[in-house]
Amino acid sequence: MTMNLHFTKMQGAGNDFIVINGIDQPFQLTAEQIQTLAHRQFGIGFDQLLLVETSKVADFKYRIFNADGSEVAQCGNGARCFVRFVVDQKLSNKHEISVETASGIITPKLENNGLVTVNMGAPRLSPSEVPFIADAAANSYVLEVADQQITISAVSMGNPHAVQIVDDVEIAPVVALGSQIEVHPRFPERVNAGFMQIIDEHHIKLRVFERGSGETLACGTGACAAVVAGIQLGRLQSPVKVSARGGELHIAWQGGNSPVMMTGPAVAVFTGNIEI
C-alpha cells in the first residue's frame, strides 16, 4: 500500500536533506524506500532524511537516515535545518530548542541573523567510543589502506570520523580513498572520512566522504571532528573557519570535555509530496 509523504527539502552549506514531520504523519519507511527517495534521478535526491518526532526528555526527537537507508546517531548540518524547520512549521515558539538524538541531547539555536548555532556536545576521543580498533588512545593513528599507510585522527561527535591532513583538498583522492576508509575493518560501524587542508591555525578547507552517503558538499559533524583533531595535534586554534565546497561553517572548542559549538546556515528550498 502506498502513502503520500509530505516533506521539506532543505540544505545546510550544500549538505541536503528532506525533513519529515513525524509528529503529524507516522513514519514507516523501509531502508529500501529511503534509498529510492534519496536517488538523485529516480527519487527526490538527498544526503540524509531527517525525522522530527516527540520526545520525553527534550523538546523534540531527531532521527537521521543516510541515503543508503542506514539510521545514524548524529548530523550537524541537519541539526541546523531541524531548528529552522521547527520554527518555520510553528512546532515551537522557541528559537533555541533541546533535541534528543541517539547520541545525546544537542541544542540548536536560530540566531537573529538567520544563522544557526548548535552545541554539539563534547567530542569523544577514546577509541572504544568512536568506535575504532586501536591498542591505546592517541591523537593520531597509522591506518593501512589501499596498499598505503595514512595518518588519521579518530573522533566521534556521536558519529565516527577518520580525519587526515592533506596538502590540497582539491586534488585529494576523496572518493577513491574515502570509499575504502569508510569500510575499513578497524571501524566496526564504518566511518566518515575527512580530508583537511590547513590554511592557517584559524582556517581549514575540508572535504568529507560520508558514511552511507558518499562525498557531500559539507559535513557538520565532520567539520567539528576535523577542528577537534587539528587542535589536538597542535595545528589549529579555536575558533576555526571551515571552508567546505558548499559553504562555510564556524567551529569553536575549548578542549577537554567542553562542547563543540558549530555555527552555519540552514535553508528551506521547497516543500513537496510524493507517493511512496
**Residues of the shown chain interacting with ligand API in the complex, contacts defined by CB under 6 A:** 15, 47-48, 64, 66, 72, 75-78, 159, 192, 210-213, 216, 219-222
For the bound state, the minimum distance from the C-beta of residue 79 to ligand API, rounded and expressed in Å, comes to 8
Is 219 a residue of the active site? yes
159 carries a ligand binding annotation = yes
Torsion of Cα atoms, 162 then 266 then 169 then 146, to 10° = 30
Pairing of strands 203-210, 240-244: parallel
Question: Distance between CA atoms of 31 and 11, rounded to whole angstroms?
Answer: 22
How does DSSP assign 141-197, residue by residue?
A: EEEEETTEEEEEEEEESSSEEEEEE-S-GGGS-HHHHHHHHHT-TTSTT--EEEEEE
Q: Which residue has the cell 567539520?
A: 223
211 carries a ligand binding annotation = yes
Paired residues of 10 in beta bridges: 17, 268
15 carries a ligand binding annotation = yes
CA distances from 6 to 27, 76, 201, 276 (A): 11, 23, 44, 10
Question: Distance between CA atoms of 18 and 269, rounded to whole angstroms?
Answer: 10
Is 224 a residue of the active site? no
For the bound state, the minimum distance from the C-beta of residue 128 to ligand API, rounded and expressed in Å, comes to 17
48 carries a ligand binding annotation = yes
The neighbour count for residue 127, using CB atoms within 10 Å, is: 18
Catalytic: which of 75, 116, 174, 196?
75
Indicate the residue among 49 and 97 with the shorter CB distance to ligand API: 49
For the bound state, the minimum distance from the C-beta of residue 77 to ligand API, rounded and expressed in Å, comes to 3
275 carries a ligand binding annotation = no
- Say which residues have a Cβ less than 8 Å from residue 57's Cβ, sequence separation at least 6: 100, 105
Nearest residue to 97 via CA among 75, 116, 76 = 116
Question: Distance between CA atoms of 234 and 97, rounded to whole angstroms?
Answer: 33
40 carries a ligand binding annotation = no
Indicate the residue among 162 and 219 with the shorter CB distance to ligand API: 219
Indicate the residue among 5 and 118 with the shorter CB distance to ligand API: 118
Indicate the residue among 159 and 197 with the shorter CB distance to ligand API: 159
Residues with active-site annotation: 75, 219
Binding residue numbers for substrate:
15, 48, 66, 76-77, 159, 192, 210-211, 220-221
Binding residue numbers:
15, 48, 66, 76-77, 159, 192, 210-211, 220-221
